[in-house]
Amino acid sequence: MASFRYTPYYCEENAWHLCQHERLRGLERRVVFVSNALRCCPLWFQRASPDLTEPVLWDYHVLVIAREQATWQVWDLDTRLPCPLALPSYVEATFGPPHVIPDEFHPRFRVVAPKPFIATFSSDRSHMLDEDGAWREPPPPWPPLFAEARGMNLMRFVDMEDDFIGEVMDRGGLLERFGG
């Protein structure tokens, strides 16, 4: 994994670079944003969790899926699970049993093809600044993926109610489309 650009807490930028990486370039790929109306999704087996038995509650998360032969594999640089991992195995381990999690915490997924994602995504990293203007987490060493003409649009990808690029689906829809 050392050859991938990675900075903790900047999953959207990690995914932007990952979906263009030479290891995945020849594969069918999608960028997947994970969130919900509460902006509070429990994800297990994340590096940010000090305890593997407890989930991290992310406001959003971003990962890449890529099809190798007939199987969609999840590339999540923040997971402690194997990477890549078959999508059904990743979903089961990362999002837990659906009947145990209250409905309002169930994730929704915005699935975007890499070309429109790369062409559209723009973040000035302002969401990572606290009220005093200090970084909540250290930023990546590369420049922000920001285009003045597009403005800061990260939260449009995260907002599952926004009629923006990509297709929004629930867990069942994601598994039906990419899990088999």
Question: Residue 142 is encoded by which pair of tokens?
Answer: 């590369």
**Residue 132 burial (CB < 10 Å; 0-12/13-18/19+)?**
exposed
The tokens 């969609």 sit on which residue? 72
Question: Residue 147 is encoded by which pair of tokens?
Answer: 């285009």
pLDDT values of the chain reduced to their tens digit, one per residue, 180 residues: 558 999 999 999 999 999 999 999 999 999 999 999 999 999 999 999 988 889 999 999 999 999 998 999 999 999 999 999 999 999 999 999 999 899 999 999 999 999 999 999 999 999 999 999 999 999 999 999 999 999 999 999 999 999 999 999 999 999 999 986
Strand partners, 30: 65
Question: Which is nearest to 67 in space by CA: 32, 29, 31?
Answer: 29
Question: Residue 36 is encoded by which pair of tokens?
Answer: 């919900």
Q: Is 19 a catalytic residue?
A: no
Rounded Cα gap, residues 55 and 138, in angstroms: 22
Which pLDDT score is estimated for 2?
Answer: 59
Which pLDDT score is estimated for 51?
Answer: 84
Q: What residue spans define the domains of the chain? A: 11-178
CATH class given for the domain over 11-178: alpha beta
Catalytic hit among 19, 76, 78, 106: 76
Q: CB neighbours of 32 closer than 8 A, spacing ≥ 6?
A: 62, 63, 64, 65, 109, 110, 111, 112, 174
Which pLDDT score is estimated for 1?
Answer: 57
Rounded Cα gap, residues 27 and 63, in angstroms: 15
Q: Is 61 a catalytic residue?
A: yes
**Side chain identity at 53, as an amino acid letter?**
T
Catalytic hit among 19, 61, 78, 106: 61
Which pLDDT score is estimated for 50?
Answer: 87
CB 19 within 8 A of CB 119: no
Catalytic hit among 11, 17, 19, 78: 11
Interaxial angle between packed helices 171-178 and 87-95, expressed in degrees from 0 to 180 and rounded to the nearest 10: 160
- DSSP element (H, E) containing 167: strand 167-170
Q: Is 127 a catalytic residue?
A: no
DSSP secondary structure letters along 53-96: TS-EEES-EEEEEEEETTEEEEE-TTBSS-SSEEHHHHHHHHH-
Strand partners, 29: 66
